[in-house]
Amino acid sequence: MTAKPDHILLLSGTQEARLLAGELAKAFPKVRITASYAGVVSDLPDPGVPVRVGGFGGTEGLTAYLVVEAVSVVVDATHPFAAQMSRNAVAAAAATGIPLLRLERPAWAPVEGDNWVDAGSMEEAAAALPSGARAFLAIGRKDIDCFTRRTDIHAVARMIEPPEAVLPDHWELILSRPPQTAEEEIALFRDRRITHVVTKNSGGKRSSAKIKAARHLGLPVVMVRRPDLPEARTFGGIADLLKAIQQKTAI
């Protein structure tokens, strides 16, 4: 157990991490806080605390960083699909005995009337689309190559930055960052005559408009399940996590 947090390492890359950075800085003005980014997007948000960018070099690299930089608390506020980083955080925390707290937004759940197709992986999601589908792909650029061999479908793929994979000629690429409104998504789906929506179960409000739009239009949603993560002390919201650090119930 650490008596006080001298250096908080915040594994970032989400809107919640950015907000949490501000809250941590307010709550612990004398504490060193470092927000860490993978560096996969070029326009990093300013979290208002010192930033480091780039991988640590696996579990070993992270373990070394925690020791060298005298980190006293690790907060994993990465995206629910950033499974490798979360696994490394659990392993490095176990190796060093440094407390690890995970901030994890609740997953989306279907409501009555929703037509969701559960997919355990991107490959399963790609296979779930019928030939001739006009799919809206909101799955990011990393996994898009699971879909590109489906040249028998038309796809509108939306992501923040362009993919390395070459998309089939008849597909459309939209580069855009959330949030979108449900009205915007409805208009887009109508305009492109979308028949299926494919998304990761990212959860949260910021990118949920596409789910509402699919619901409104009665479109099936191929929902990719979250990857399994090793156990960690997990908080669904910023306030609870902050309280746990303040009251030292989790560190």
Residues of this chain that bind ligand NAP (CB under 6 A): 11-14, 36-38, 40, 55-58, 61-62, 78-79, 81-85, 88, 140, 142, 200
Tokens representing 50?
């010192």
When the beta carbons of 140 and 195 are compared against ligand NAP, the nearer one is 140
When the beta carbons of 84 and 96 are compared against ligand NAP, the nearer one is 84
Q: How far is the CB of 13 from ligand NAP (least distance, A)?
A: 2
Q: How far is the CB of 93 from ligand NAP (least distance, A)?
A: 14
Asked whether 167 and 157 are in contact (CB, 8 A), the reply is yes
Q: How far is the CB of 76 from ligand NAP (least distance, A)?
A: 8
Q: How far is the CB of 60 from ligand NAP (least distance, A)?
A: 9
For residues 42 and 50, give the distance between their C-alpha atoms in angstroms, rounded to a whole number: 17
Q: How far is the CB of 193 from ligand NAP (least distance, A)?
A: 26
**Dihedral over Cα of 139, 140, 141, 143: its sign:** negative
- Rg, C-alpha atoms of the chain: 20
For residues 61 and 92, give the distance between their C-alpha atoms in angstroms, rounded to a whole number: 9
CA-based nearest residue to 224, from 209, 205, 206, 211: 211
When the beta carbons of 178 and 237 are compared against ligand NAP, the nearer one is 178
Q: Which residue is nearest to ligand NAP (CB)?
A: 55
The separation between CA 53 and the C-alpha centre of its own chain, rounded to angstroms, equals: 17
Give backbone dihedrals phi and psi of 177, rounded to 5 degrees, phi first. -110, 140
N- to C-terminal Cα distance for the chain? 6
Q: How far is the CB of 35 from ligand NAP (least distance, A)?
A: 8
When the beta carbons of 195 and 207 are compared against ligand NAP, the nearer one is 207
Give backbone dihedrals phi and psi of 24, rounded to 5 degrees, phi first. -65, -40
CA-based nearest residue to 138, from 115, 122, 120, 118: 122
When the beta carbons of 8 and 82 are compared against ligand NAP, the nearer one is 82
When the beta carbons of 217 and 229 are compared against ligand NAP, the nearer one is 229
